[in-house]
Amino acid sequence: MLYAAERLQELANDPEVTSPDIRNIPTATPKEGVGVVEAPRGTLIHHYQSDERGLITASNLIVATQNNAARIAMSVDKSAKGLISAGKVDDGILNMVEMAFRAYDPCHGCATHTLPGQMPLSVRIYTPDHRLLREVTRTGI
């Protein structure tokens, strides 16, 4: 707590932090811009390039789903493996798998315009030799 108080005092007296110059309006047409925003679902990175008229000629968006893809896949895999026993599974697996990826990407429901438990989802269960054993599917409402 002492360090936090000392650091707070340092920041409160830092002229760069307390400067009234908080927004710089560009005077020329920008050629390139990058923005990084922390959002509830993770970091969003936007990169744009423009022509001499300021029209966007290229863009690259890196959204949280891309950043979290490996973790989402591992959580879905772990969730499914924990719910499947000897190739037997009930329809509840769909909600549990959905819950596993929504922990990383709560905005996915908005992207699919559905509430939890209503998003179209399919789980395929394979044998160890990669033959399809069963498919559990839910269509959206």
The per-residue pLDDT for range 79-134, each reduced to its tens digit, is 888 888 776 777 678 778 878 877 776 665 555 555 655 677 788 888 889 999 88
Reported pTM: 0.53
User: Which comes out higher in pLDDT, residue 125 or 65?
Assistant: 125
Q: Considering the chain, what is the average pLDDT of its residues? A: 82
User: Which comes out higher in pLDDT, residue 135 or 2?
Assistant: 2
Give residues with Cβ within 8 angstroms of 45, minimum separation 6.
34, 35, 36, 61, 62, 63
Separation CA 92–CA 69 (nearest Å): 23
